[in-house]
Chains A and B, each alone.
Chain A
């Protein structure tokens, strides 16, 4: 046991760097992706076909393709049209696209969950469409969508491990490098797994608790 802890202590700083990078990639992708997801949600809900269909195609492609393929598309694919991205930005763009596609559906579900009377109330007090969305519909829609968005964010943190395949030095890349140089795969992978679990397990429990609290019918306290 002591031997294991010594090894872990020795590897931890290296894996920690990877952990921070994983968090960074995830955070930036989520910020970009959720903003884009919001736009796509509005696009898919738009009345005009010229907006709705392209938005639908973007969403369905993003949801239909494996995240791994998206990552490699941005990293190995784009250079074939002379657009070379660093693994960091390829990762961010790919994961942001993936986030946008999935969260647009989550947000759309939230928008549809807002009662019709809210739209009407916004209409009759003379709010224009943008104001109605901004002040009345979206705050309520995002509240409904919040648990799912957080749950998805946890998934995205895990999905960032796929950046191993595009040589981004995140947790799994570093763990795998340590494993192949020391042949101590088992202990280093356990440590890597624990680092993911340390974030994801409490976060999942937190989201589940939030979901119960925000369950339909429960209103916000003062």
Chain B
């Protein structure tokens, strides 16, 4: 075969076709003496769905929380589009708000506002941070609630909703800011399996619509079938990453295969 006929883009090293949308450069995080993240490098492009898996205490959640600065990293750099955040320089409050508005986050424990109705939960940030009118925000919130299948709960308080419903409301609340990136921190871990399924269904739909997502999860099925890429963490480092099917079925590291085995046998 004529070497010249090899398409150019297959010549190693593979250059990035699209510029990275999110890029983490040698991120470190320390809590006192404990190093929770060690030299984490990661990038993803727009529309990608990345699952982060790994044993508990491996730093998955911390990594997620570093991305939106809930935990400011000790060292390293985060780039999201044109935003460039270096841990070495203190962050301006305005930049922080800009970052937060572009990233939606869904917590393990939902963290809905218990004193507000479901509708207000979704509307609040639109009114206060996007400057929308109450009417406009409520109309948009209803659309979002419809999308997660909970329009009928708009007037209820979160306490009257099941865990699965609360988590779907939390997703609607995060989507209300029209984020470019959604972070999910073990979104189904606090739920009974069947309630977790309804949350996963919403997430799958979202992924299908092209939302960029990073999902810390113990749901191996979700990681394998919905995500494009799987990142495996252990002891604060990324020990393996690659296309989902490959990582989940033929992991390169023995450690990863042991972990997967342990999780699947549970």
A residues contacting B by CB (< 8 A) are 115, 117-118, 120-121, 123-128, 131, 135-136, 139-140, 143, 219-222
Contact = CB atoms under 8 A, between A and B. Distances in A.
Contacts of A115: 111
A222 B128 contact: no
A117 B159 contact: no
Nearest to A140: B115
A222 B154 CA distance: 11
8 contacts: A117-B109, A118-B111, A124-B100, A125-B174, A127-B129, A131-B129, A136-B124, A143-B115
* Consensus secondary structure, chain A interface: helix
**Most central of B101, B115, B159, B174 by chain A CB within 10 Å:** B115
Given A219-B157, A220-B157, A222-B156, A124 B115 contact: no
Interface residues of B, number: 30
A122 to B, nearest CB: 8
Contacts of B124: 125, 127, 135-136
A123 B65 CA distance: 12
B107 A120 contact: yes
B13 to A, nearest CB: 36
Interface of B: 68, 70, 93, 97, 100-101, 103-105, 107, 109, 111-116, 124-125, 128-129, 155-157, 159-160, 173-174, 176-177
A117 to B, nearest CB: 4
Contact of B113 (A123, A136, A222): A136
Contact of A126 (B70, B129, B160): B129
A131 B97 CA distance: 13
B236 to A, nearest CB: 21
A121 B111 contact: yes
Contacts of A222: 155-157, 160
Contact of A124 (B103, B109, B116, B156): B103
A126 B111 contact: no
A121 B107 contact: yes
